């Protein structure tokens, strides 16, 4: 009878298993269109055996089937690989969308943007050069100047709006990530409690996997499964989810980020909480940051760990935390700040030279104004010793001129060499290393222009205290470009007989400066040049160096800041170049007056750049067309200024790129091509990444998705299995009924 009753168990277990299989199959079919659902499978195993001590020996008899679990069908390896590649796909997708919008804003390269306006602007000046007194042509020049200003302000406004939208998108993404991590932690706790109860929380696990997919889209992360079924989420080496707890994620504005937000992980709650800045690899959030602007290369002397190479503006930069604010250099504004140390040798041998400097010092300052530089001046004098004579922001340059005019030579000139005896290096380094930070503005380009009639070792016969490279290294260590204005012979040789002689150009070349001669050969003799031209040469170098540092934009992953820098470099240098020529001419008034700037900033606190350009308001007055300068002398037939401005378009050395100097037109085309090439490269990466991600997603869905054909086959299989188990039960029941009801009838 034992065998008979165990047969009931066999049939019952078959009924139970097939019934469960039909339940699972029905659940799969019902969720065939549920997003993130993983098909389930009833896993069966044969039950335990019982021993049968039969007449012919021992044997084993099975007692049916057991249901081990109802499991999900997923491929965890494919899940992990998909999530890794999915983060990259979203990264390239954000960058691609940003590039598309930048190209649309610039309206290039389809002759709808700045290039077309500039061509018409140059053409208008060319027409004005044919008839310098024509009010009609002057009106066209004014109109096209307004069009350029309007277009650039419009581009600037759209860039601003893009960055604000991207920043808002960044904040929303961090909020979403914070909410997703909290939900994963809650599900970890719920899944663990269900598993402790001995049940399979498959639907909860589906929900958690869907959340992990969303997290992988936002941030690059590692997802680690623990033995107890909980998942940890790690990003940038920080646990965002640890078992059933999640770190809180916040965004905030900081002094370093200016008008943009940064993201932090709250490592410890409190007042204030302990925050750790989040770092991102390739993911959607990283794409947003790089599109908006995250970090850039900019001059930062305090971050220097080695001397700057001032011979190449690209090598004078350091990567630092940015200050994103209105007109911040890190957000693409042109850095026209120049802090200039004017070092003047006061030894008695320089008396005649000092008189020349005094005569033309006002032309030096006027030249800086005309170049449109934001300059501060520092005056250092030396002979036997060196001293800082004064510091002069732009509004106090008259004091600078007055102090230079009051200088006198010093008869104690026997210790006036450039090294330690003169102390000039120490004075320059003291200015640069002032702990109060008052001597140099943080982001200003630094220049020293030395005026001397002496060689590097003065009139000494002893060796100078340092070698040329050591001098250059000390200057470079404080990011100082050094130039010398002196006699031609002093550029190549020293006075001391005991030294291996070297001249000023050895230092100026190594310290990113220039050697300017104050004398020239006339006939067969050397004599002073016109000092107005000497001063102009000194100004041209500083202006050219500032322009080079603006226009030589190193490639980076920052989309909008880099696009701003490229366009701002062009528009700022063009505007300042036009202004310089325009100020050198005469108006059409009677009598003619000095010209003024053609383009002026809307807000004088900031440089000429996107969003901060307009034509001179005087041009809009009733007689404003007379203020537009075409002549150098004021004569109605003089077209020198108009022709010079028109020729700016074709000057081959107008602006410098990484590859070399070029024209304004070629620079802009190069900037547009650079943006277009980056956009095309990003699109190619995105296409490849979508292919990889799509293939991985298809592979994992081929495993996890519900297949109706397979489920219908399972339905039939379980249905027939159930029928068969029921039939077995009926047969056993009939056998037992026969035994019970009919046993012993033969003897009646």
* Degrees to nearest 5, angle at CA 183 with 182 and 186: 90
Question: Does the pLDDT of residue 89 top 60, yes or no?
Answer: yes
Q: What tokens does 692 get?
A: 């990889």
**Span 604-616, pLDDT tens digits:** 888 999 989 999 9
**Span 12-21, pLDDT tens digits:** 888 888 988 8
Report how far residue 607's alpha carbon sits from residue 254's, in angstroms, rounded to the nearest whole number: 24
Report how far residue 457's alpha carbon sits from residue 464's, in angstroms, rounded to the nearest whole number: 6
Q: DSSP character for 307? A: -
Residue 745 vs residue 696, higher pLDDT: 696
Note the Cα 158 to chain centre separation in Å.
Answer: 18
Residue 702 falls inside a structural domain? no
Residue 184 falls inside a structural domain? yes
**Span 322-344, pLDDT tens digits:** 445 656 788 888 999 999 999 98
Question: Does the pLDDT of residue 285 top 60, yes or no?
Answer: yes
Report how far residue 127's alpha carbon sits from residue 642's, in angstroms, rounded to the nearest whole number: 9
Q: How confident is the model at residue 294 (pLDDT cuts 50, 70, 90)?
A: confident
Cα dist from 492 to 103, 374, 447, 455, 486, whole Å: 51, 33, 21, 9, 11
The predicted structure's pLDDT at residue 111: 57
| pTM of the predicted structure, to 2 decimals | 0.84
Q: Both 346 and 461 in a single domain?
A: yes
The stretch 255-263 carries a mean pLDDT of 79
Question: Does the pLDDT of residue 571 top 60, yes or no?
Answer: yes
Share of the chain above pLDDT 90, in %: 38
Residue 545 falls inside a structural domain? yes
Least confident of 273-287, 306-320, 542-556: 306-320
Residue 626 falls inside a structural domain? yes
Report how far residue 75's alpha carbon sits from residue 221's, in angstroms, rounded to the nearest whole number: 18
CATH number at residue 456: 3.40.50.410
Residue 45, strand partner residues: 66
Q: Both 293 and 353 in a single domain?
A: no
Report how far residue 133's alpha carbon sits from residue 630's, in angstroms, rounded to the nearest whole number: 8
Question: Does the pLDDT of residue 145 top 90, yes or no?
Answer: yes
Q: What tokens does 361 get?
A: 């010092």
Q: Which domain holds residue 224?
A: 78-108+164-298
Question: Does the pLDDT of residue 83 top 70, yes or no?
Answer: yes
Q: How confident is the model at residue 228 (pLDDT cuts 50, 70, 90)?
A: confident
Cβ(570)–Cβ(668) below 8 Å: yes
Report how far residue 371's alpha carbon sits from residue 607's, in angstroms, rounded to the nearest whole number: 12
Question: Does the pLDDT of residue 410 top 90, yes or no?
Answer: no
Q: What tokens does 27 get?
A: 């659940």
Q: How confident is the model at residue 744 (pLDDT cuts 50, 70, 90)?
A: low
**Span 4-54, pLDDT tens digits:** 677 788 888 888 889 888 998 998 898 888 888 888 888 888 877 776 666
Q: Both 343 and 486 in a single domain?
A: yes
Alpha helices in 293-414 (DSSP H): 351-370, 397-405
Report how far residue 131's alpha carbon sits from residue 62's, in angstroms, rounded to the nearest whole number: 112
Residue 700 falls inside a structural domain? no
φ, ψ (nearest 5 deg) of residue 532 = -65, -35
Q: Both 178 and 323 in a single domain?
A: no
Residue 256 vs residue 503, higher pLDDT: 503
Report how far residue 692's alpha carbon sits from residue 101's, in angstroms, rounded to the nearest whole number: 25
* Strands in 487-621 per DSSP E: 515-517, 519-522, 525-528, 599-600, 614-615
**Span 91-140, pLDDT tens digits:** 999 999 999 999 988 876 555 678 888 999 999 999 999 999 899 999 99
Q: Both 355 and 488 in a single domain?
A: yes
Cβ(384)–Cβ(412) below 8 Å: yes
The predicted structure's pLDDT at residue 55: 60
Report how far residue 488's alpha carbon sits from residue 529's, in angstroms, rounded to the nearest whole number: 11
The predicted structure's pLDDT at residue 458: 65
Note the Cα 157 to chain centre separation in Å.
Answer: 19
Q: Both 603 and 666 in a single domain?
A: yes
The predicted structure's pLDDT at residue 580: 94
Q: Both 171 and 147 in a single domain?
A: no
What percent of the residues of the chain are helix, what percent strand, and what percent coil, each to the nearest 5? 50, 15, 30
Least confident of 154-168, 229-243, 510-524: 510-524
Q: Both 470 and 483 in a single domain?
A: yes
**Span 362-399, pLDDT tens digits:** 999 999 999 999 999 999 988 777 788 888 999 899 99
Q: What tokens does 293 get?
A: 């602007």
The stretch 214-233 carries a mean pLDDT of 90
Q: What tokens does 438 get?
A: 């008052």
Q: Both 147 and 169 in a single domain?
A: no
Residue 464 has a CB neighbour count (10 Å cut-off) of: 24
The stretch 584-594 carries a mean pLDDT of 89
The predicted structure's pLDDT at residue 320: 38
Least confident of 246-255, 347-356, 414-423: 414-423
Among candidate residues 529, 551, 573, the one where a domain is terminated: 551
Name the nearest CA neighbour of 601 among 572, 627, 580: 572
Q: Both 454 and 321 in a single domain?
A: yes
The helix/strand/coil state of 626 is: helix
The predicted structure's pLDDT at residue 456: 78
The helix/strand/coil state of 740 is: helix
The predicted structure's pLDDT at residue 541: 93
Could you identify the residue written with the tokens 């202006």? 543
Count of domains observed in the chain: 4
The predicted structure's pLDDT at residue 315: 47
The stretch 641-654 carries a mean pLDDT of 90
Cα dist from 696 to 80, 218, 684, whole Å: 10, 18, 19
Q: Is 142 exposed, middle or buried (0-12, 13-18, 19+ CB in 10 A)?
A: buried
Q: Both 393 and 522 in a single domain?
A: yes
**Span 526-557, pLDDT tens digits:** 788 888 899 999 999 999 999 998 988 878 88
Q: How confident is the model at residue 62 (pLDDT cuts 50, 70, 90)?
A: confident
Among candidate residues 551, 576, 591, the one where a domain is terminated: 551
The helix/strand/coil state of 473 is: helix
The predicted structure's pLDDT at residue 257: 67
Report how far residue 636's alpha carbon sits from residue 115's, in angstroms, rounded to the nearest whole number: 31
Residue 693 falls inside a structural domain? no
Is the bond preceding residue 451 a cis peptide, omega within 30 degrees? no
State the DSSP H helix or E strand holding residue 339, giving kind and residue range, or none if neither.
Answer: strand 337-345
Question: Does the pLDDT of residue 166 top 90, yes or no?
Answer: yes
Q: Is 111 exposed, middle or buried (0-12, 13-18, 19+ CB in 10 A)?
A: exposed
Residue 412 falls inside a structural domain? yes
Cβ(249)–Cβ(259) below 8 Å: no
Among candidate residues 532, 551, 570, the one where a domain is terminated: 551
Report how far residue 513's alpha carbon sits from residue 507's, in angstroms, rounded to the nearest whole number: 8
Instruction: Please list, in sequence order, all residues whose beta carbon lies within 8 angstroms of the beta carbon of residue 269, skipping any fewer than 6 positions away.
Output: 248
Instruction: Please list, in sequence order, all residues whose beta carbon lies within 8 angstroms of the beta carbon of residue 152, skipping any fewer than 6 positions away.
Output: 114, 567, 571, 610, 611, 613
Q: DSSP character for 384? A: S
The predicted structure's pLDDT at residue 52: 66
**Span 484-512, pLDDT tens digits:** 998 888 888 776 554 556 788 888 888 88
Residue 189 falls inside a structural domain? yes
Report how far residue 673's alpha carbon sits from residue 656's, in angstroms, rounded to the nearest whole number: 16
Q: Both 155 and 176 in a single domain?
A: no
Name the nearest CA neighbour of 490 among 443, 540, 453, 436: 453
């Amino acid at each position: 009878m034992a065998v008979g009753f165990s047969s009931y168990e066999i049939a019952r277990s078959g009924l139970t298993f097939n019934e469960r299989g039909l339940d699972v199959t029905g659940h799969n079919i019902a969720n065939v269109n549920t997003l993130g659902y993983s098909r389930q499978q009833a896993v069966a195993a044969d039950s335990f055996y019982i021993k049968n001590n039969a007449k012919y020996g021992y044997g084993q008899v099975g007692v049916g089937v057991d249901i081990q679990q109802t499991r999900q069908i997923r491929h965890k390896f494919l899940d992990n690989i998909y999530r890794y590649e999915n983060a990259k796909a979203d990264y390239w997708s954000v960058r691609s969308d940003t590039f598309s919008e930048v190209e649309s804003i610039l309206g290039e390269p389809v002759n709808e943007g700045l290039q077309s306006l500039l061509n018409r602007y140059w053409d208008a000046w060319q027409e004005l050069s044919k008839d310098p007194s024509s009010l009609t042509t002057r009106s066209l020049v004014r109109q096209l100047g307004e069009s350029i200003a309007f277009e650039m302000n419009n581009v600037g406004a759209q860039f601003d709006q893009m960055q604000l939208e991207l920043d808002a998108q960044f904040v929303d993404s961090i909020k979403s990530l914070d909410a997703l991590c909290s939900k994963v932690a809650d599900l970890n706790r719920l899944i663990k409690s269900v598993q402790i109860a001995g049940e399979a929380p498959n639907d909860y696990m589906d929900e958690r996997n869907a959340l992990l997919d969303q997290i992988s889209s936002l941030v690059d992360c590692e997802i680690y499964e623990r033995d107890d079924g909980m998942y940890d989420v790690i990003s940038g080496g920080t646990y965002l989810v640890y078992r059933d707890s999640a770190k809180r994620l916040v965004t905030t504005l900081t002094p370093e980020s200016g008008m943009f937000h940064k993201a932090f992980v709250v490592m410890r709650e409190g007042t204030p909480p302990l925050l750790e800045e989040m770092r991102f690899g390739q993911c959607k959030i990283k794409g947003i940051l790089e599109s908006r602007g995250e970090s850039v290369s900019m001059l930062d002397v305090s971050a220097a760990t080695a001397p700057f190479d001032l011979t190449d503006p690209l090598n004078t930069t350091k990567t630092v935390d940015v200050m994103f604010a209105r007109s911040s250099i890190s957000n693409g504004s042109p850095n026209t700040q120049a802090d200039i140390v004017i070092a003047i040798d006061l030894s008695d041998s320089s008396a005649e030279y000092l008189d020349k400097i005094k005569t033309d010092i006002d032309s030096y300052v006027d030249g800086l104004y005309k170049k449109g530089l934001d300059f501060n001046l520092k005056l250092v004098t030396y002979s036997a010793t060196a001293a800082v004579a004064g510091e002069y922001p732009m509004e106090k340059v008259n004091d600078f001129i007055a102090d230079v005019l009051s200088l006198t030579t010093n008869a104690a000139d026997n210790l006036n060499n450039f090294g330690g005896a003169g102390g000039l290096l120490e004075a320059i380094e003291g200015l640069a290393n002032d702990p109060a930070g008052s001597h140099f503005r943080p982001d200003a380009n630094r220049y020293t222009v030395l005026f001397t009639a002496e060689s590097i070792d003065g009139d000494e016969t002893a060796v100078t205290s340092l070698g040329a490279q050591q001098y250059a290294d000390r200057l470079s260590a404080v990011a100082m470009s050094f130039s010398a204005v002196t006699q031609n012979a002093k550029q190549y040789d020293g006075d001391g007989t005991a030294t291996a002689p070297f001249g000023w150009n050895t230092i100026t070349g190594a310290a990113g400066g220039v050697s300017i001669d104050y004398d020239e050969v006339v006939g067969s003799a050397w004599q002073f040049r016109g000092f107005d031209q000497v001063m102009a040469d000194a100004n041209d170098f500083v202006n050219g160096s500032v322009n080079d540092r603006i226009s030589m934009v190193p490639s980076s992953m920052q989309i909008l800041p880099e696009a701003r820098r490229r366009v701002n470099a062009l528009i700022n240098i063009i505007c300042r170049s036009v202004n310089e020529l325009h100020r050198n001419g005469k108006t059409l008034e009677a009598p003619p007056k000095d010209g003024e700037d053609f383009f002026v900033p809307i807000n004088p606190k900031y440089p000429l750049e996107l969003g901060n350009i307009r034509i001179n308001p005087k041009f809009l007055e009733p007689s404003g067309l007379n203020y537009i300068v075409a002549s150098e002398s004021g004569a109605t037939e003089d077209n020198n200024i108009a022709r010079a401005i028109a020729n700016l378009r074709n000057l081959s050395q107008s602006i410098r790129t990484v590859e070399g100097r070029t024209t304004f037109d070629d620079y802009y085309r190069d900037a547009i091509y650079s943006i277009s090439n980056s956009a095309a490269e990003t699109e190619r990466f995105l296409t490849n990444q979508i292919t990889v991600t799509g293939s991985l997603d298809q592979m994992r869905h081929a495993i996890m998705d519900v297949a109706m054909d397979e489920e219908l086959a399972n339905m039939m299989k379980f249905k027939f299995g159930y029928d068969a188990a029921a039939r077995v039960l009926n047969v056993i029941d009939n056998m037992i009924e026969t035994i019970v009801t009919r046993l012993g009838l033969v003897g009646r």
